[in-house]
Amino acid sequence: MKTALELNAPEMVTNRALLHWLSDIVELTKPKDIYWCNGTQTEWYELSRMLIDQGVMTPLNPELRPDSFLVRSDPNDVARVEDRTFICSVNEADAGPTNNWRDPDLMNEELRTLFDGSMRGRTMYVVPFSMGPLGGPISQVGIQLTDSPYAVLNMRIMTRMGFDVLRLIDNETNWVPAVHSVGMPLEDVFGNTIEDVPWPSNPTKYICHFPETREIWSFGSGYGGNALLSKKCFALRIGSFMGKQEGWLAEHMLLLKLTNPQGKAYHVAAAFPSACGKTNLAMITPTIPGWTAETIGDDIAWLRPGKDGRLYAINPEAGFFGVAPGTGFGTNEVAMNTMWGNTIFTNVALTDDGDVWWEGMTDKVPEHLIDWRGEDWTPSSGRPAAHPNSRFTVPVEQCPTLSNDWFENAGVPIDAIIFGGRRATNVPLVAQAFDWKHGVFMGATMSSEQTAAAEGTVGDLRRDPFAMLPFCGYNMADYWGHWLDIGRKLGKNAPKIFQVNWFRKDDSGSFLWPGFGENSRVLEWICRRIDNSAKTYEAAIGLVPARGSLNLEGLEMPRGAMTKLFRVEPERWLAECDATAEYFSIFGDRLPVEMTKQLQALRRRLKTATL
C-alpha cells in the first residue's frame, strides 16, 4: 500500500480505510498525478482557467453572465445511460424487477479490467464531499475519485466539497467510496502519448452500485449524473439502501416552505416524475395575495424521524443541476434569476454577444446562434439549438427565493407529502389520502400517460412509483414496505399525503387547469387540510375539496372545468385497478400485503360508487 505521503494526502487524512482504498485505486488506474480538492475559490479559478486553455470551456460575456462558462459534450455522451446502470447486490432478488442487476463479483472483475490504466497520463482528483450541512444529523459524506476536472467543478457547485469534509472522516466515520473515469488515458501501456480531446469519453459505459459495500463505480461517461456521483448514484440509489438499513428515506423530492398571510409556515415534500413541473413547483410564485413560497430543494430530499417523533428533511445538495430547455422567464422566473452568474452551462447554444440561449428561454428566437454542437444555427436550420437534455449547474445560494431553512443542520419538519404525475384523465386535480397506508399506495401507483406516439402508445401508463423508478437502489416492493414501516414509526406524527395532477384535459385535448403560479391555490388547500380547516368530500380515490373549499378568487375558469377536474369515473378506474394488479404481480411474494389490501379497498369503493 502506498503511504499517505506517496498519495499526496493532506495531514488531516487519518482514516486507514480511505488511504488503503485510495492506494488500491491509484495502483489500478495509474494516474500521472494525484490532486486533493480543497474546495477554495482559488482552486475554482485554476481549474476553470485550465479548461479554458484546453478548449473545453468557453467563458461567457462577463458583463452579461459573470464567471460563467459553456461546455459542449461529445454528441454520444449527453444523458444518463439507464440501460448501462446496474445494482450489484449480492442477491438478484434484492435488486428487484425494476433494476438492472449484475453479480457483484463478476461486475468487479469486469470493472477492474476496464479501470486498469484508465487514468494514465491524467490527474486523479480526490473530491471529498458532504451531502447536507457539514456534520448535520441527516448528512452523509463521500469521496469521489475522478479524472474529469469538469466533474470536479460541477461537484464544487452541487456539494459541500473540500478539506472541511476530510476533517470529519476519522477511523469511525462511515463514508461512501465513489470511483469515476472517463475511460480515455493519455498514455498507452508503453508510455506513448495519446492526444486528448475537448470532451473525453468512452463508448463503453457502466454506472454500477454495490449496495452492501456502498461503493459506486462509473466508467466511460463524463456527463451529468454519470459523472457527478453525489447526485443520483449516492443521494438516491446508495442513499435509499442506506435509509432502508438505518431507518430513513432518500427521495426524489423537492422541498418547499409555504407561509400564509398570518405568518404560519408549512413545509412540504413533493415527488414528481420528469416533465411534470417539479422545478417550477420548487420555485413557485404564489398568485394568492399574502402567501409566500420559499425554495429549499428542487430534486432530492433526505427524510429522517426526529427526536420529537416528526419527520424531518434536508436538501442534501448545494446546487441546482437543471434541464435548460423549457426554462424561461415566462415559466420559471426564479430559476432564470438564479443563473445570473457563477453557472456552468452544458450543451446549450451560444449567442453572438457571448451569452447562452435555449428553446423556451425567451419568446423571441435569436436570428443566429452557435448550437450545442458548435455549428452555425438559424431558426430555419430545422434542428434544436440546444440539446433537449442540456443543463445548467448553479449554486443554490443564488436562488432569490431560497429559504433560510436550507441552512438548518437538522432539517425542517414535514407537514405534507405530495405525489404527482402527468395524467390527462382519471386523476383529480388534488386528493388527500385517507391515511398513511393509502398514501403509500398512491405513491406506489404513480404514473404518467404517454403523450406522443414516438414515446409509445398514446394513453398508455408509464409507471414511476414515488418518481423513484430509475433511482431506487433495491427491490421496489421492499421500498414500499420500508415506507409502511416509517409510517408505523411516525404514527400520529406522520405527515398528511396528497396526490395532485396539473395536467388533466378536456375532450378537445386542452388543459383544464392553468398550472404554474395558480398551483398555489392547490397548495393553499393542502395547507388548510394540514390544519383541518378545509372541507372535503369522500371520493373513491381519496378526500377531494368540497364545493367552494378551493380558493378560486380572481381566477376565471371555463364553465364545467372544475367538475371535470374532479370527476372520478368508476369504470375507467376499475380498468386502471386491473393494470395496477398486473404491475404488482411482477414483484411476487416481495409485494407488501398492505398494497394488495389497498387495491382491494379501492375496488370496493369504486364498485359501491357505481351502484
Q: What share of the chain is helix, strand, coil (3-state, %, to 5)?
A: 30, 20, 45
Out of 208, 233, 276, 399, which one is annotated catalytic? Answer: 276
**Residue 489, CA distances (Å) to 201, 314, 484, 531 in order:** 46, 19, 9, 22
**H or E, element range at 59:** strand 57-59
Grid cell at residue 323: 434541464
The domain spans of the chain are 16-58+76-247, 251-318+406-610, 319-398
pLDDT of residue 611: 54
pLDDT of residue 161: 97
Query: Bridge-partner residues for 193, per DSSP?
Result: 187
Q: How high is the mean pLDDT of the chain? A: 95
**Residue 609, CA distances (Å) to 252, 541, 545, 570, 571 in order:** 34, 11, 18, 7, 10
Say what the pTM is. Answer: 0.96
With 0-12 CB in 10 A as exposed, 13-18 as middle and 19+ as buried, what is 159?
Answer: buried
Q: Give the phi and the psi of residue 266 in degrees, each rounded to 5.
A: -130, 145
**pLDDT band at residue 391, thresholds of 50, 70 and 90?**
very high
Q: Looking at the predicted structure, is the pLDDT value of residue 451 above 50? A: no
Q: Candidates 3.20.20.140, 1.10.150.120, 3.40.449.10, 1.10.340.30; correct CATH number of 16-58+76-247? A: 3.40.449.10
Q: pLDDT: is 4 or 101 the higher one?
A: 101
Cα–Cα distance, 484 to 488 (Å, whole number): 6
Cα–Cα distance, 588 to 530 (Å, whole number): 36
Read off the pLDDT of residues 335-359 as tens digits, 9 standing for 90 and up: 999 999 999 999 999 999 999 999 9
**Residue 326, CA distances (Å) to 130, 342, 354, 358, 598 in order:** 31, 21, 21, 8, 37
Grid cell at residue 283: 420555485
Cα–Cα distance, 27 to 16 (Å, whole number): 17
Q: 46, 3, 50, 52: which is closest to 23 by C-alpha?
A: 3
User: Which value, to the nearest 10 degrees, does the dihedral of the CA atoms of residues 493, 496, 497, 500 take?
Assistant: -160
pLDDT of residue 450: 60
Q: Looking at the predicted structure, is the pLDDT value of residue 517 above 60? A: yes
pLDDT of residue 4: 73
Cβ–Cβ < 8 Å for 474, 87 = yes
Cβ–Cβ < 8 Å for 208, 102 = yes
Cα–Cα distance, 66 to 314 (Å, whole number): 30
Residues 93-106: what's their mean pLDDT? Answer: 98
Whether CATH 3.90.228.20 fits 251-318+406-610: yes
Cβ–Cβ < 8 Å for 256, 281 = yes
Range list of β-strands (E), 396-523: 412-413, 416-420, 430-432, 447-449, 461-463, 496-500
Q: 159, 323, 299: which is closest to 236 by C-alpha?
A: 299
Q: Looking at the predicted structure, is the pLDDT value of residue 193 above 50? A: yes
319-398, what's its fold?
Phosphoenolpyruvate Carboxykinase; domain 2 (2.170.8)
pLDDT of residue 460: 73
With 0-12 CB in 10 A as exposed, 13-18 as middle and 19+ as buried, what is 538?
Answer: exposed
**pLDDT band at residue 461, thresholds of 50, 70 and 90?**
confident
Cα–Cα distance, 248 to 305 (Å, whole number): 7
Q: Looking at the predicted structure, is the pLDDT value of residue 481 above 90? A: yes
DSSP H helical segments within 30-171, as ranges? 41-53, 92-95, 104-115, 149-158, 163-166
Residues 108-136: what's their mean pLDDT? Answer: 97
pLDDT of residue 190: 87
Based on the residue annotation, tell me whether 276 is a catalytic residue of this protein. Answer: yes
Q: 300, 353, 362: which is closest to 333 by C-alpha?
A: 362
Residues 219-245: what's their mean pLDDT? Answer: 97
Q: Which amino acid is at 295?
A: T
Neighbours of 149 (CB within 10 A): 21
Following DSSP, what letter does each residue of 286-309 receive, concatenated? --STT-EEEEEESS-EEEEE-TTS
Residues 456-474: what's their mean pLDDT? Answer: 84
Cβ–Cβ < 8 Å for 459, 449 = yes
**pLDDT band at residue 275, thresholds of 50, 70 and 90?**
confident
The two domains 16-58+76-247 and 251-318+406-610 share their CATH topology (first three levels equal): no
Read off the pLDDT of residues 127-183 as tens digits, 9 standing for 90 and up: 999 999 999 999 999 999 999 999 999 999 999 999 999 999 998 899 999 999 999
pLDDT of residue 588: 97
Non-local CB neighbours of 575 within 8 Å, separated by 6+ positions: none
